[in-house]
Amino acid sequence: MEFKIFQPGNEFLKTKFPIICGAMSYISTPELVASVNENGGFGCLAGGNMSAGELEKQIDRTRELTDRNFAVSLLTISPQFHEQLYLCQWKKVPYIIFAGSFPKKNEIKMARESGAKVICYASTNEIARRMVRYGVDALIIEGDEAGGYVGRKGLNILIQEILFDEIKIPIFVAGGLFCGKLAAHMVMMGAAGVVLGSRFAASCESGAHPNFKQNFLRAKARDAVVVPQFDSQLKVVPIRTLRNGALEDFYKLKEKLLKKLKKEKISHTRAQKFVGAYWIHALRNAALKGDVEKGALMAGQSVGLIKKEQSVKEIINQLVSEIESEMKRVKGMVDDL
């Protein structure tokens, strides 16, 4: 794509196309990251809850498969977060994404001092501007249409609240994106590029178990639901996942933990750890072992648009073709005015 409008995103990511494959725990393997990179996009490894040793192997393997830049996404709410951050500094990872919650100023400083470009998520204008003050190089605004850990606003609201506010660093958009036609309009509205997760999760190169992918192909948008927080005593980071037995088991676990909390039979800290551990275990079982009955099938609402398993090359080529067609169509409409 030679449109000037794509230049900021491509220059920042050092890519041919400003298309990011979002980081997905147990799914964003080095093979998926490398395939996205080699086809002109930008791949991201998911630190998730891996030990620093495991993550180091993933970084090294990715570098064996591609000489292009990639990011490592770190969950700030993970018990492994700080060890992973130190590792990324030492390994000179070119891009670091902070996800899950919002990093502290000194954590952003640590990442940048290693030479990495830092990208953070922003769920409000206030947080976006705070991250800019802290020194981030780019932002991602993600609507709650996305899968996995999500915020509490739709992408349409975030676009108006943050993207249109003329923040002077690249802003990428995520949440519910599937086709190139929509991606083209996101960039025309000021986005530096787009982030897709669910569509790449169902790709041939995805690390997800075949059962996991088959459920994606059968699912409808309404099947991807957000786990609600029904008691403020035990907070839950919103998670969007496909409806199955994992949700029922989680509700039972939470009810059990709340009863123990009220009777002071468990500490609040320990109860929160049980909640976090539940989703880690359930996602691993679904993504790696193919347990689609009790495992967590984290998916965005765009899952309803996925009708077949495609290679990364096919996905990116289709996106690029649709983007170019839509840009030309819009240009023609403007020229006719």
- With b for 16 or more beta-carbon neighbours within 10 A and e for fewer, the 46-76 pattern comes to bbbbbebeebbebbeebeebbebebbbbbbb
Q: How many residues does the chain have?
A: 337
**What's the pLDDT score for residue 229?**
67
**What's the pLDDT score for residue 116?**
98
**What's the pLDDT score for residue 151?**
85
Q: What are phi and psi of 192, to 5 degrees?
A: -80, -20
Q: pLDDT (tens digit, 9 = 90+) per residue, 174-199?
A: 999 999 999 999 999 999 999 999 99
**What's the pLDDT score for residue 270?**
84
Helix (H) or strand (E) holding 239: strand 239-242
DSSP 298: B
**What's the pLDDT score for residue 152?**
86
Q: Which CATH topology does 4-208+301-335 take?
A: TIM Barrel (3.20.20)
Per-residue pLDDT of the chain (337 residues; tens, 9 = 90+): 667 889 999 999 999 999 999 999 999 999 999 999 999 999 999 999 999 999 999 999 999 999 999 999 999 988 899 999 999 999 999 999 999 889 999 999 999 999 999 999 999 999 999 999 999 999 999 999 999 988 889 999 999 999 999 899 999 999 999 999 999 999 999 999 999 999 999 999 999 999 999 999 999 999 999 987 666 777 777 889 999 999 999 989 988 988 888 888 888 888 878 888 888 899 999 999 999 999 999 999 999 999 999 999 999 999 999 999 999 999 898 887 7
**What's the pLDDT score for residue 46?**
96
**What's the pLDDT score for residue 230?**
61
Task: Count Cα atoms within 13 angstroms, Cβ side, for 199.
Answer: 26
- How far is Cα 127 from Cα 76, in angstroms, rounded to an integer? 15
**What's the pLDDT score for residue 237?**
76
